[in-house]
Amino acid sequence: MVKRPIYLDYQATTPCDPRVLEVMLPYFTEEFGNPHSRSHAYGWKAEEAVDYARKQVAAILSADPREVIFTSGATEANNLAIKGVAHFYKDKKNHIITCSTEHKCVLDSCRHLEQEGFKITYLPVKSNGIIDLDDLRGAITDQTVLVSIMAVNNEIGVIQPLAEIGKICRDAGVFFHTDAAQAVGKIPLDVNAMNIDLLSLSGHKLYGPKGVGALYVRRKPRVRLQALINGGGQERGMRSGTLSTPLCVGLGEACALAQTEMRAESARLKALSARFYEAIQGSLEEVYLNGDANQRIPGNLNISFTHVEGEGLMMGIKELALSSGSACTSASLEPSYVLRALGVEVEMAHTSLRIGFGRFTTEEDVDTAAEMIIKEVGRLRDMSPLWEMSRQGIDIKSIQWAEH
């Protein structure tokens, strides 16, 4: 049997925890009832399970269960939050603020609204990946209905100052939505303390199943949404359609496990990341961490290996499953827009790897990964004309390159 690569791509997705799967299974078979069936025990049992899951999801956010809407994932939750608020309040206000490093599903939702005539401000980020709060203050007008800023970035792992953003928004009477797909279960979140009005999360980013997520929608002061999906009026009319009991149950259990284990797990991941980064730093020159060194989740490292192209590097470390900020694979051949937004030079963006550690990463995995990366970067630098020139003291930027 071929040994599978070591999985270091926990920001792309996580495996479903076996403990989560176990509680889901009965709801595929024996407990198959429609949670919206009111007239018999099959429905009641399913409804009870969904209610319990809703409590578990609410608990990790310090929210009320009545404020949780189940969705198909964070993409849908983000679409619902942004388009839903924009459309509901469109007669009063027409301006939304977001930032340039958001996930594609937020940016694309905003683009669609722009085409409908809404005004969107895309805040820049500082070189550490974090927004400038003064920029935010300056961007809010009396037309602003919503600020949507992600909690944790999926490529570089930096944490935005949620409590400060929440305070600014509350004081200005603007709703605050945060895409917390990469944050839930990794950092403590409290929708009341942080003045968050809407929050998106995703099952498969926190060791739950794929195809389920949730949107938190504040009740007091009430946030109103225009539904994207119309029908039987489930989920307080904000998201029609029969809920998948097993998926909801799985998401709830995943939240409960994450909540219980977060402290210990964060400390463990922090130690693993430090161990990895020290090994790399100790053996290789000119490696740079992208994104703030401290304001970041413990399991993510985004590193540029100067003068080594990311896709070429990944080919040499096939035994590791991770992703690169180089876009040589993509049709556009544009490197990561997130790194570009930080002001990382295009060349450096091409040399980056995103390394994600998670619940099932061992110290041995980390050591093996560091060793392989160090070896391969060394080999490719020996093969890199840019590395050779920089060793000879030639300024790469002084050369007239023929960009294509």
Partner 1 sequence: MAYSQKVIDHYENPRNVGSLDAQDAAVGTGLVGAPACGDVMKLQIKVSDQGIIEDAKFKTFGCGSAIASSSLVTEWIKGKSLEEAAEIKNTTIAQHLSLPPVKIHCSMLAEDAIRAAIRDYKEKHPSA
Residues lying near partner 1 in the complex (CB under 8 A) are found at 307-309, 311-312, 315-316, 326-329, 331, 333, 335, 345-347, 350, 382-388, 396, 399, 401-404
Query: Least distance in Å: CB of 209 to ligand PLP?
Result: 10
Q: Is 255 among the residues known to form the active site?
A: no
125 binds, among partner 1, ligand PLP, none (CB under 5 to 8 A by kind): none
Residue 215 CB, nearest distance to ligand PLP (Å)?
A: 11
From candidates 144, 202, 306, 324, binder to ligand PLP by CB under 6 A? 202
Q: Does 304 bind ligand PLP (CB under 6 A)?
A: no
Q: Are strands 68-71 and 213-217 parallel, antiparallel or unpaired?
A: antiparallel
Nearer to partner 1, 91 or 395 (CB): 395
Determine, following the binding rule CB under 6 A, whether residue 75 of this chain makes contact with ligand PLP.
Answer: yes
Q: Can you tell me whether residue 240 is helix, strand or coil?
A: coil
Closest contact distance (angstroms) between CB of 245 and ligand PLP is 19
Greatest pairwise CA separation for the chain in angstroms: 80
Site string for ligand PLP, 212-241 (x = CB under 6 A): -x----------------------------
Give CA–CA dist 387/45, Å, rounded. 64
**Nearest alpha-carbon partner for 276 in 371, 349, 348:** 371
Q: Which does 350 bind (CB under 5 to 8 A by kind): partner 1, ligand PLP, none?
A: partner 1
Q: Does 296 bind ligand PLP (CB under 6 A)?
A: no
CA distance 185 to 14: 12
Q: 268: how many CB neighbours lie within 10 A of its CB?
A: 17
Please, how many CA atoms are within 13 Å of residue 246, restricted to the half-sphere of its CB?
A: 15
Site string for ligand PLP, 170-199 (x = CB under 6 A): ---------x-xx-----------------
Tell me the closest approach of the beta carbon of residue 372 to partner 1, in angstroms: 14
Answer yes or no: are the C-beta atoms of 311 and 326 closer than 8 Å: yes
d(CA 27, CA 24): 6
Tokens of 46: 């399913």
Contacts of 103 (CB under 8 A, 6+ apart): 74, 78, 150, 154, 179, 181
Q: Name the 3-class secondary structure at 343.
A: coil
Which residues of the chain form contacts with ligand PLP (CB under 6 A)?
73-75, 103, 105, 150, 154, 179, 181-182, 202, 213
Active-site positions?
Answer: 328
